[in-house]
Amino acid sequence: MQFRAACFCLIGIFLIGPSASAADYNSGVSAKVLKKTSVTGNGQKITYPNTDRAEVTAMLVELAPGAETGWHKHPVPVYAYVVSGNLSISLEDGTLLSFGAGDAIIEVVNTLHNGENRGVEPVKLAVFYLGIEGSPNVIKPESAKYNELKKKK
């Protein structure tokens, strides 16, 4: 049920726009801005793919305690909502970002990163990729770069 509520909330934010507020709805409906920004988690300006083949992918991602996503990057904008648990994200420059239940994540674009569940409960994320039909949303690094990043850990 929490996941459905999170998805509904995020879809509403994307469809209605950043200027939406509780006053924009009928009585009995409340709205709370989770995050409003023009930059990603590492300060990059947010840009959207210029394409006529836009494709949105919505996923529920779960990381068991101790699990990692593995080093990867996204060539497209990605937004996530932490439904439960605590997520640690290591960026290729050594920066560590932390997110907990209820946080909105504006993921980095074209920057290698690794998500980890360092906690004792599963991390559940509602993730939304603003991609392009036929193009990958996730790219794994070359093995040499991956091994270098893994050593830094």
Which pLDDT score, from 0 to 100, does residue 3 have? 47
Strands 54-63 and 123-132: antiparallel
Which pLDDT score, from 0 to 100, does residue 16 have? 47
Which residues lie closer than 8 Å to 26 by C-beta, 6 or more apart? none
What pLDDT, in 10s, does the model give residues 34-49? 999 999 999 999 999 9
| Long-range contacts of 41-46, Cβ-Cβ distance < 8 Å, separation of 24 or more | 41/89, 41/91, 41/97, 41/105, 41/106, 41/107, 41/108, 42/91, 42/93, 42/95, 42/108, 42/111, 44/108, 44/109, 44/111, 46/77, 46/106
Q: Which domains does the chain have, with CATH numbers?
A: 35-152 (2.60.120.10)
Which pLDDT score, from 0 to 100, does residue 78 have? 98
* For residues 100-127, average pLDDT: 98
Residue 9 has pLDDT above 70, yes or no: no
What pLDDT, in 10s, does the model give residues 126-151? 999 999 999 999 999 976 555 566 66
- How many angstroms separate the CA atoms of 72 and 92, rounded? 10
* For residues 107-111, average pLDDT: 96
pTM to 2 decimal places? 0.79
Q: Give the Cβ contact number of residue 93 at 10 Å.
A: 10
Which pLDDT score, from 0 to 100, does residue 149 have? 62
